[in-house]
Structure 1
């Protein structure tokens, strides 16, 4: 996909990402539009004030920016999740939910004021056109796309604008000190919601579901069919970092793990209550299952985890989830933007409202209530999803200097440069599993990481042994992503992951 940074789940980034970027309990409703909201012809006080300001204010201002800020402030008064989306934000959100986007299929990052291609979609437009990992992008359709002397330049925005104008693009790239002209045809590129699906051992499989989009159920059933053919006897579903998405997709996937006529969840809106029950016996109703969650697991992903917990269908492993029990619709605006509005609440099969408290916490409707599940376990409302088996985030493994080295992208940049310098040797590994078993970091690798970090302002020379090993494991996993994209990253990082190990232990009891 076209993203300015390669991203993976990280608990310490949640505060930034949850409100701005998460796909929240989205109820699929196509072509929901409004033709009056934000239009100057509407006889509203907002538009009257807008016209007065535009005509009389002492300085020149961007009136659309001011109006959008006013709308955003208004929506924030409703709840933490209702929001105004700019036209670009609305487009990105819709693409995430559709599971496809029009683009060229590259992951990139800015290094030293230049866009570098980090990876490409296999058989995507960029790869077909002849672009290579390591290419430096200099021009797009004749326009300078470096950040040199261009304060405020946004490559992502520029690329999207050019694709909207025409599918035919022309890139000027620098490769091995040579300048090349590469024409690329933008096409529809898939955005899979499943990052990886593989067998951990001879009987246990793992599926990493990053969001619930329009294609999630289809993807899930295809992957489970393939894994079953390979001998899958139990399954781990990894919902860590899954901030939600389309509610109906979570419902369909969850239904496959229950017999017919089982309540999966219910919603309550202005029209009343609606129950969502399984319509038939699920294909995987007898498949042993474990579910992984963390503080970024939200909304539709929490619906999935909650039904498993209420019926004691699967152990929930990891850390307490985000706690969002509101369903939202996306309403399109005439300017291309959108408003995301909470339209319903959802409840677990036991009747739990797992929404964490916000606003007036003394409100009686937000007080915790006790429930008991099929296994006699006490569960509570307004408390998100508390895992059955808690796996703590160990700050000893991830101290501040390591966190900062990772968060600002410096580790990612080091890995990219290491890959470019050692690509021939690295491509001798046949698979992520082969890489895990045979690739060994050297003392020289550590010295180079340490020096690179120091040059970026991070002294990691005195790390505790466990923190040093954590950083080396991250280095190895990031290399896996350079070689096999996200599949490589997750397979390699899961080898040493405590939450995955806990799930395997549960399934082997």
Structure 2
């Protein structure tokens, strides 16, 4: 198989800009508004009409409009953004927290739609579809043997709630074709990956973004670990680029006493809106730890700032991204939207944690390079803080503004350069695809294995480590794994566990060697 270049791993953390840009697009605070045009705003419309009517060649004026809007917004700040109609469909689903479909994780393997795993409780699982099945037809539409655009593929599998679809399946393990009829249903998009116990009294909750369903998911996870005896809770916000601010506020409310200030915003007219905790908190006394890294942004920083400034918990990790701008959404009438920065938010101590953006978007999103070159990712003393940006928490502890949340307990990257790049690569889709293909060779080798037997099987073999190196070589990915063998084996084992068992087993394996989790355990 020749892997599409879009799946090739890139150097360490080049995904930062994309993740935080999406977080920036989604960090909205307030109701939607409709853009109203007045007479003096028709200049651009007249120009576009003139081009469309008189220009010597045929031209797509929609693309000109998109460029014009983007050009205007780029002059403002990095988080005032235009989202096209096609992008908005994806963003809206992600932030709504669900979509309507058949309920499978899949990817296109050798020109065929291959099921990585049906979602538990979804229509496909209920209909008997299994991991490794190939979907050949959706009703009468052929899905194999040709390159199908993603939007076309998704449109064939998605549909209205309760609508029927007949899938023609090839089951490799039984070497037979079968037809499966099912009804499309609402499929949740999880924003809370997992809530589990990492010791007898420490709960762990991983939040990947802040969508409409996040607080509901988070509260269920928090109640779960409390019921299992959690006296301390770790909230993992690493690589969480943000989302709905109010969901971060609701989460913080569960940890803070009534009337504690959570966040306040200030607009151009100096109007200040404060948000305080209510009496509804369900974990106001136990210990709280928040994990952050350089990809944690926006709503993640609101939550962490509220916990830190109220002396409610300990922030562990590395300095967060530094986004302190609030967006409001405006519809443009054709399905596209603009999200315009309308205010700044401040943590309870009065900190604005927005990092500078005067030098343009490219410099803004490449600021990670400066952190890397300065050594900040490896040494806490390398974090540059201005004396004018020192603030005090409720109990008088010193905290810092001016570009992200600085952790109370600093946890550096563990390796330098190429070794860090390997670990970053091990968290990408390429590992999922490799594991699927290894399982696809002989799924019966894993039949009837319980989790303990699975661990023993994986720990005492280098087979999959060796095969993965060969897989990278075959696909033209020049990464040598030898210096990172323990890391590679751990992530491979975890991904096997995810596909054979569930997300919880994935995290059970990963968290045992997680340096930030280790720092929490040492501090506790």
Normalization by structure 2: what TM-score? Answer: 0.84
Change beyond 3 A, Cα 1:60–1:295: same
Matched, 1:171 2:191: no
Quick one: which of 80, 95, 101 aligns to 1:97? 95
In 2, distance between residues paired with 1:265 and 1:193? 22
Tell me if structure 1 keeps the 8 A contact 2:19–2:239.
no
In 2, distance between residues paired with 1:303 and 1:161? 39
Matched, 1:332 2:349: no
Tell me if structure 1 keeps the 8 A contact 2:207–2:235.
yes
- Aligned pairs for 1:265-414 within 5 A: 265-270=263-268, 272-280=271-279, 282-359=281-358, 369-374=389-394, 376-396=396-416, 399=419, 402=422, 406=426, 409-414=429-434
- Aligned pairs for 1:164-203 within 5 A: 164=159, 167-176=163-172, 177-203=175-201
Moved more, 248-257 or 277-286: 277-286
Quick one: which of 217, 222, 230 aligns to 2:220? 222
Moved more, 455-464 or 475-484: 455-464
In 1, distance between residues paired with 2:282 and 2:160? 45
In 2, distance between residues paired with 1:330 and 1:192? 23
Where does the alignment leave 5 or more consecutive residues of structure 1 unmatched?
none
Report the aligned-residue RMSD.
Answer: 3.1
In 2, distance between residues paired with 1:205 and 1:421? 37
Structure 2 equivalent of residue 455 of structure 1: 474
In 1, distance between residues paired with 2:344 and 2:421? 41
In 2, distance between residues paired with 1:302 and 1:21? 12
In 1, distance between residues paired with 2:329 and 2:204? 32
**Equivalent residue pairs, number:** 488
Residue 103 of structure 1 deviates from its aligned partner by: 2.0
Where does the alignment leave 5 or more consecutive residues of structure 2 unmatched?
1-5, 361-385
Residue 298 of structure 1 deviates from its aligned partner by: 0.8
- Aligned pairs for 1:71-82 within 5 A: 71-82=69-80
Residue 297 of structure 1 deviates from its aligned partner by: 0.9
Change beyond 3 A, Cα 1:173–1:43: farther
Moved more, 338-347 or 99-108: 99-108
Quick one: which of 497, 500, 505 aligns to 2:514? 497
Normalization by structure 1: what TM-score? Answer: 0.86
Residue 333 of structure 1 deviates from its aligned partner by: 3.1
In 2, distance between residues paired with 1:316 and 1:497? 16
Residue 441 of structure 1 deviates from its aligned partner by: 4.6
